[in-house]
Structure 1
């Protein structure tokens, strides 16, 4: 009886390893820079339009609504019209607009309103922000597509 033949397994050579940090570092940097710009703009808006104790947080409300509308326009433009540089979307979309809009402050504002004895205002703010922000992004994207289609005809 003879020993079974063994096949020589050929394992492909590993692909040259790209250092993830080299490809991710520019993205992290532009998101951080954009986030600083957006958060500074939001903070400035809150200084210009302070919220009274127990009052409706208009600055945060409008920041989120306007930010969502800009996101709607921006996403249509960079996906349907403009072949943007690979760092534009992380800088402006994730960084600037992510730093500008603030759904964490929105949640804290609701909690403060409820805790200070203003649950109706808190619920109104909860519902109004959700409806207005989602409507803003949808309307802005739809309007941008319509304008772009009109300009092309």
Structure 2
């Protein structure tokens, strides 16, 4: 009888942990899709909704190189960037995760045919993902 209680308890704990982990993965996928959609449509406001209060923003084609910029100013800079370089497509390349940090590379295709390599670094805060670093490098 004692063994069956231990087995039941162990299964309960494993199922609960799996539920939490799958919830985190679905939230991660949801955030990744929101970011992809925001950049693909040039929606700086929605994208800025996922910024940390201060972030690193680099856009080499615009000589933008802020190591510590407020989320509101970053939104305005990106709004102008998307006007000057209207989006055609955005595709993730490599994605990875390490100790409460999620990072990815991507390609931002501009309507005029040029491309930017994009680097995004997100930190996990309060069970959410916040963009800490965003780089656009023209190819």
TM-score, length-scaled by structure 2: 0.30
Larger relative helix fraction: 1
Greater RCO, 1 or 2 (C-alpha within 8 Å, sep 6+) = 1
Larger relative strand fraction: 2
Tell which structure's C-alpha radius of gyration is larger. 1
TM-score, length-scaled by structure 1: 0.28
